[in-house]
Amino acid sequence: MAGQRPVGTITRGTTNPNRLRRVDRWLAGPQAWRLTQSEQPPVVVDLGFGASPVTAVELHERLRRVRPDVEVVGIEIEPDRVARARPLEREGLTFALGGFEVPLPGARQATVVRAFNVLRQYAEPEVAAAWATVQDRLAPQGLLVDGTCDELGRLSSWIAVDRSGPRSLTLSWRLRGLTTPSEIAERLPKALIHRNVPGEPVHRWVSAVDRAWAHAAAHASFGVRQRFLATAATLRSDGWPLLDGPARWRLGEITVAWSAVAPRDLEAGDGPDGQRA
């Protein structure tokens, strides 16, 4: 890929320390098997790390507790951002110029590509092509995580995409101070944010979370965490295909199979059942 022009456009690049802690916790938790099952040191990419390399540094610190030899590569399309990040390089952490083509030395494949607050600034029709470009760079058990969060990381959502397509949608809230779960709707990933309208599956999902939250109001006297646990349990009993359980719910996190939220105009083959995602 030497000499290839980076694929993508420069984003605003704003970020804050600890902004991506929710998705990092998910990668180091339910997705840790992707790192530990790799015979070679796994490569994890922070795609579009922005004006500050802090998210890549934090990602490396968190994932090396799972796999000490993990290699994190921060990739940015803006040369000056890469230059400013390179003084922070260390064993297992490097920075490179690039975009969705995910340039890695020796044509290595990525175990995880975390692309947060990147596609939010693109048009919805451009999402599928960006996903496909990254998917071509994934290892057999690799995962693209396309997500969005607010400025402080209190509301966060992400779509897990493997080599076969999207697998799941995860919503993650800071429980303290939570009033209505649908507040997270404005932070849905680009593939879904404009689909949060009546008649679309993701709208039914977000509305169902709100209804379950209201139904669990009696649990509020025991604390917001107990109310959220009751909310998730109601969603599961109502038939929603949740891919996690109370250990994740306690963190203010719910993951649902992509088949439950996929846009209506996608073919059935684009909505796998989400197992292991």
Q: Which CATH number fits the domain that encloses residue 105?
A: 3.40.50.150
Dihedral sign (CA 231, 232, 236, 237): negative
Confidence band of 273 (pLDDT split at 50, 70, 90): very low
Please indicate whether residue 265 or residue 86 has the higher confidence score (pLDDT).
86
**Two tokens, residue 85:** 């990040």
Instruction: Give the model's pLDDT for residue 183.
Output: 97
| 74 and 208 both lie in a single domain | no
| 158 and 179 both lie in a single domain | no
pLDDT at 271 over 60: no
| 109 and 148 both lie in a single domain | yes
Q: What is the pLDDT of residues 203-242, one digit of tens each?
A: 999 999 999 999 999 999 999 999 999 999 999 999 999 9
DSSP-derived secondary structure letter, 207: H
**Two tokens, residue 123:** 């048009």
| 75 and 139 both lie in a single domain | yes
Distance CA 177, CA 124 (A): 31
Q: What is the pLDDT of residues 79-104, one digit of tens each?
A: 999 999 999 999 999 999 999 999 99
| 179 and 157 both lie in a single domain | no
| 28 and 158 both lie in a single domain | yes
Q: How many domains is the chain partitioned into structurally? A: 2
Helix boundaries (H) for 180-245: 190-193, 201-215, 224-237
Instruction: Give the model's pLDDT for residue 38.
Output: 87
pLDDT at 37 over 90: yes
| 159 and 180 both lie in a single domain | no
Distance CA 191, CA 193 (A): 6
Measured from the Cβ of residue 269, the count of other Cβ atoms closer than 10 Å reads: 8
| 45 and 83 both lie in a single domain | yes
21, containing H or E segment: helix 21-27
Percent of the chain with pLDDT over 70: 91
Domain presence at residue 19: yes
| 155 and 182 both lie in a single domain | no
DSSP-derived secondary structure letter, 32: H
Is the distance from CB of 55 to CB of 20 less than 8 angstroms?
Answer: yes
Percent of the chain with pLDDT over 90: 85
Domain presence at residue 277: no
Is the distance from CB of 110 to CB of 75 less than 8 angstroms?
Answer: no
Domain presence at residue 169: no
Distance CA 192, CA 262 (A): 8
Burial of 32 (0-12, 13-18, 19+ CB in 10 A): middle
Distance CA 10, CA 48 (A): 9
Q: What is the rounded average pLDDT for all residues in the chain?
A: 92
Question: pTM of the entire structure?
Answer: 0.91
Last residue of a domain, one of 163, 197, 215: 163
The two beta strands, 93-97 and 110-116, are: unpaired
Distance CA 6, CA 97 (A): 7
Domain presence at residue 170: no
| 117 and 89 both lie in a single domain | yes
Instruction: Give the model's pLDDT for residue 33.
Output: 97
| 95 and 18 both lie in a single domain | yes
| 181 and 143 both lie in a single domain | no
Name the β-bridge partners of 170.
158, 255
pLDDT at 270 over 80: no
Domain presence at residue 236: yes
pLDDT at 21 over 50: yes
Cα–Cα nearest to 277, from 248, 251, 234, 236: 248
Distance CA 89, CA 95 (A): 7
Domain presence at residue 60: yes
110-125: average pLDDT: 94
Domain presence at residue 235: yes
The two beta strands, 253-257 and 165-173, are: antiparallel
Instruction: Give the model's pLDDT for residue 277.
Output: 35
Last residue of a domain, one of 138, 163, 188: 163
Domain presence at residue 219: yes
Last residue of a domain, one of 136, 163, 190: 163
Helix, coil or strand: residue 76: strand
> What residues contact residue 42 under an 8 Å CB cut-off, 6+ apart?
34, 35, 67, 70, 71, 111, 112, 139
Q: Provide the residue range defining the domain that includes 102.
A: 13-163
Q: Where is average pLDDT lowest: 2-16, 132-146, 211-225? A: 2-16
